[in-house]
Amino acid sequence: MTDIKKFQEVIGYHFHDEKLLRQALTHSSFANEKHLKKHSDNERLEFLGDAVLEIISSEFLYKEYPDKPEGELTKLRASIVCEPTLALCTKDIALGEYLLLGKGEDQTGGRKSILSDALEAVIGAIYLDGGFANAKEFIHKYILTDIEHKQLFYDSKTILQEVVQGEHEQLTYVLTDESGPDHNKSFTVRACIGERVIGSGTGHTKKAAEQEAAYQALLLLKNQQRG
């Protein structure tokens, strides 16, 4: 079973009702496998956490960027709360290590595709357990950080295309691996300039894998520029 106490130490928030946290970390595949009672999984908490995240991120951007028009703020918020970016945020708290997943889900590498949902469920659980202020503190600490980096990640394919075009080179994405059942596929893609591989990414859609590959490519190119 997952170590509830340790996870609370990691995130710096201690629950009054630990059952809420256990529910937030319980994927439907685990609940079904263990025949848990209805609504024991994290889907309802994810629904709530999604709404809490949207209002807190909206307020943050409204205050942080007073000169940006609505359209730009909307795009910026999308770059923060989209599934791949949220999955990226979970690395700091090693959320994947604490999820309760069914055996089938675990074996097919489903962990990555459900990290963002679990993060939203944790936000929902904190909101119910400790109120708006505690949820806000968690979101500011683990999600609303390094906004420029997250925007780079969100817009990585567009930005990389512009960079490569500026050098008059040809960018391609090559699918190198596809595995898992239809409902939970995993794709691995390489970003290439000509024959040169500049980034690799994995995702549960080709688009997500391409985004990750483009992001890794941009980080590589930035480092090369610095060097």
Provide the annotated active-site residues: 50, 120
Three-state SS annotation for the chain:
CCCHHHHHHHHCCCCCCHHHHHHHCECHHHHHHCCCCCCCCCHHHHHHHHHHHHHHHHHHHHHHCCCCCHHHHHHHHHHHHCHHHHHHHHHHHCHHHCCECCHHHHHCCCHHHHHHHHHHHHHHHHHHHHHHHHHHHHHHHHCCCCHHHHHHHHCHHHHHHHHHHHCCCCEEEEEEEEECCHHHCEEEEEEEECCEEEEEEEECCHHHHHHHHHHHHHHHHHHHHHC
Report the 10 Å Cβ neighbour count for 214.
28
Residue type, 206: K
Under a CB-based contact definition with an 8 Å cutoff, are residues 204 and 212 in contact?
Answer: no
